Homo-oligomer: A and B are copies of this chain.
């Protein structure tokens, strides 16, 4: 097992120049295949690999991409991460995964650290509360490729965007309930500062309009989508004189909460009360009755993210202003027992 010093010994052994060895190892197009072969063979035999620190230092490329997610354990993000990582890994990039824990302060710190560690690009889903995106400016200013996904800037920000079709998701969720005969549909939404909830809410509203179902303000809640909050809201709903016969919640945790409250109160789901959640969290399928939900296809999102950031990084030398329209990834209504007609 050699000491893995430099490739100069390879150059010497082969009687060629160090620069040729470097180029051969890096698959430089102008090096003959024969030379490449020779060099790589010897490198393998000598158990030699390029020192990535030296390479990064010299070339100013780290082959590292940072990704900021609110929480690594959320099913949607976990799946996106897996896909992105696999894809980037194949292309020779490493992923630094960072969690903001939905704190804008942490997010800001993460951006700075990522910047300081000279990542080649950044992918980010912002926190629920990020309305000011100026902490990302350091990246755009220094031309570091940046792509937002899922939770993205609501107003224009000079970065690429990949997002799900939340409007359509909200619309289809509500429409589904309406077509099942629901006349009074509650909605649990997150803070409207977040594009996700704004769009899902808009879809819900438009579905009601389209089918001439009255919008009832007292049945619509805006708050962080935790189990506790959801339970509280749903308890309120069931205390009303005119109770709803269906609910669309902007995440699955809230849908599960709705199911639990209904169970406690002896309200039959789906017979008396139908539920549609959002995200297709695995929990929504193991619970009984299974919960109808909107699948966001995290694999597609992840794939799109990898493609986008790679394009940006590779195209960065040629064109500079290549920010295009947001990429909208599809959603699919996934029907389970919580909204089946009996």
Contact = CB atoms under 8 A, between A and B. Distances in A.
Interface string A93-129: 0111111000000000000010011100000000000
A156 B54 CA distance: 36
A32 interface: no
Given A96-B96, A97-B97, A53 B283 contact: no
Nearest to A288: B263
A256 interface: yes
A297 B99 CA distance: 20
B97 A52 contact: no
B51 A118 contact: yes
A112 B86 CA distance: 16
A81 B85 contact: no
A154 interface: no
Nearest to A256: B286
A95 B113 CA distance: 13
Top 6 A-B residue pairs of the complex, sorted by shortest distance between their CB atoms: A73-B78, A57-B57, A53-B57, A53-B56, A49-B116, A97-B97
Interface of A: 1, 49, 51-54, 56-57, 60, 62, 71-73, 75, 78-79, 81-82, 85-86, 89, 94-99, 113, 116-118, 141, 256, 260, 263, 282-283, 286-288
